[in-house]
A and B are shown apart, each in its own frame.
Chain A
Amino acid sequence: MSVTTDDLNAITEQVWLSYLDPEGLHPFLPSPEAPAPPHVIASVSVTGAWEGHVVMTFSEGAARLSTSALLGMESDEVSDDDVADAVGELVNVIGGNVKSLLPDGSLLSLPHVVTGEAGAKWPAAVEICRLQGSWQEEKIAIGVWTSKSTGAGE
């Protein structure tokens, strides 16, 4: 049992239609082009029967646009705390849906959000699939990482 980029695409479409683009005017557009280093990184971890991470990365503009869409506010009105809450909830929703594709007996963590250019690394895990692209010209990527000790190569 594993997760593919097609799975991420299907989950992302549902999230966009429900919360970020209910009118269907600004869909997320997948692209093979690797995004620039992100400004905001949001992740949830899965432990138990399957171990790994679901990681969502945003340009600064993408994080603010997502937050303003979720809160129904103008993007220049959102605070840093709003951004952390909003992107954390987005990765929680996507991570929860990813977890439903994984073996029973796994637990989902609360979200972690890192802001700034320093980046974040998961040295004990490998990326097994990734969806990247743009939303209203701003870059977003979603990756699923599995722990090298438990899930690599499955």
Chain B
Amino acid sequence: MKILVADDSRVMRQIVTRTLRQAGFGGHDIVEAADGRQAYDLAVAEKPDLVLSDWNMPEMTGIEVLRALRAAGETVPLGFVTSESTDEMKQMAEAAGALFLITKPFTADTFADVLGPILG
């Protein structure tokens, strides 16, 4: 499977990729986006099987990316990996069609629990 990891921090993209491996999902292709605009463009062009997106990014926020994808008819599964997790944000994410919201800091156990049913 192909996973798009969108985060404006290269350090965090690396941590997400490493945590995927530690959670037992190391065999998947990883594509990286460094801002929201790039995340949208790559989600359309690369047809990933899953998008793991930060919320707070330059160009477009994660929720703007998700809404733009759905408005364009793109149904790619998307979940947020974000340092913020207020009830307000969870409701916005769910209403826009996000599959889940993982809060930073996360562990490999969190990734295994949340992503296991999706990545198998």
Contacts and interface: CB of A to CB of B under 8 A. Distances in A.
Chain B contact residues: helix, strand, loop or mixed: loop
B83 A104 contact: no
Contacts of A53: none
B23 to A, nearest CB: 13
A93 interface: yes
A125 interface: no
Contacts, number: 62
Contacts of B28: none
Interface stretch (B6-14, B40-48, B70-78): B6-14
A92 B8 CA distance: 11
13 contacts: A18-B104, A18-B105, A72-B14, A85-B9, A86-B9, A92-B9, A92-B56, A93-B104, A96-B82, A96-B104, A99-B86, A100-B85, A104-B87
A96 B107 CA distance: 17
Interface residues on A, range: 20 to 34
Interface in A78-122: 82, 85-86, 88-89, 92-97, 99-100, 104-105, 108, 110
Interface of B: 8-12, 14-15, 18, 56, 58, 82-88, 103-107
Contacts of A104: 86-88
Interface of A: 14-15, 17-19, 22, 67, 70-72, 82, 85-86, 88-89, 92-97, 99-100, 104-105, 108, 110
A23 to B, nearest CB: 13
